[in-house]
Amino acid sequence: MVAHVYGSVRNSSGCEGNKPSVVTVMGGAHASSYFERIIGTPQIDFIIRGEAERSFGEFLDQLQMTTPDWTTVKGLVYPVDDGYEYNEPDLSQDLDSIKIPDYEAIQLERYEKVGYRWNSPPTGNAPIWVTRGCPYRCQYCAAPDLNGRPVRTHSIEYMMDWIKYLYDTRKVRWFNIIDDNFTYHVKYAKEFCRAVIDLNLKGVGFGTPNGVRMERGDPELWQLMKRGRLEDLNGCA
């Protein structure tokens, strides 16, 4: 999943140059928004638009088939004789069916070493993704192309398990809520904050680096955020 498409195309060219049998699959903001400009690039074989946690597994299953059925892979853009075809992205309502990330495979510590942070400590911080989707039409933002316009949510229980896992196992103390509209469902945001308060984890802090819409909230929510240690609130109007 990439944001800087041209550098990624160059890197893909290097991979195929070393081993022509390599299959290159691109995803991310640029690929989801401008897939029709990229799929004809010689270095790129396939594109997965939008969310790919499930779609990439479906793609790998088909890749092993003698005659792959690409129509079964959600979000896939694939070449055909006269151009390309594309499938609708995966916008499942059941976000809890997506497993908590495998942090051993991600090697979160390597991201910290090269400077992953947002108004947060240099170590012991991680992103969490509470809600997905954005109904707004900001011209500079690809969020609806990646995650659709309806705002979908994880269950509160799922999120508390995720936070406790990072706190206990990975020693994370700062959580960046990377949602595009964390407070869009105000009632849900309040439930999240109350659950965080009930966890009573020592030394934690939260931030919203992507911002929240200031009209999506009320004084009760802002107070709950304060009590829940949401210490870095970025907003827009």
The pLDDT value recorded for residue 8 is 67
Beta bridge partners of 152: 132
Residue 111: count of CB within 10 angstroms of its CB: 14
Final residue belonging to a domain, choices 52, 86, 120: 86
pLDDT tens, residue by residue, 27-38 = 998 899 989 988
In a shared domain, residues 212 and 123: yes
In a shared domain, residues 69 and 154: no
> 175 and 163 in contact (C-beta within 8 Å)?
yes
Query: Residue 150 sits in which domain range?
Result: 95-236
In a shared domain, residues 15 and 104: no
Final residue belonging to a domain, choices 86, 107, 132: 86
CA–CA separation, 35 vs 46, rounded Å? 10
In a shared domain, residues 44 and 157: no
Burial of 151 (0-12, 13-18, 19+ CB in 10 A): buried
pLDDT tens, residue by residue, 123-152 = 889 999 999 999 998 888 889 999 999 999
In a shared domain, residues 62 and 113: no
Final residue belonging to a domain, choices 86, 107, 124: 86
In a shared domain, residues 137 and 201: yes
In a shared domain, residues 100 and 80: no
CA–CA separation, 25 vs 178, rounded Å? 24
- CATH label of the domain that carries residue 229: 3.30.750.210
Which residue spans within the chain are E strands per DSSP?
25-27, 46-48, 76-80, 83-86, 125-128, 131-132, 152-153, 174-177, 205-213, 230-236
In a shared domain, residues 108 and 206: yes
> 125 and 64 in contact (C-beta within 8 Å)?
no
In a shared domain, residues 29 and 113: no
In a shared domain, residues 25 and 72: yes
In a shared domain, residues 117 and 67: no
Could you give the number of structural domains in the chain?
2
Beta bridge partners of 28: 2
pLDDT tens, residue by residue, 40-93 = 888 899 999 999 999 999 999 999 999 999 999 999 999 999 899 999 999 999
User: Whole-model pTM above 0.85?
Assistant: yes
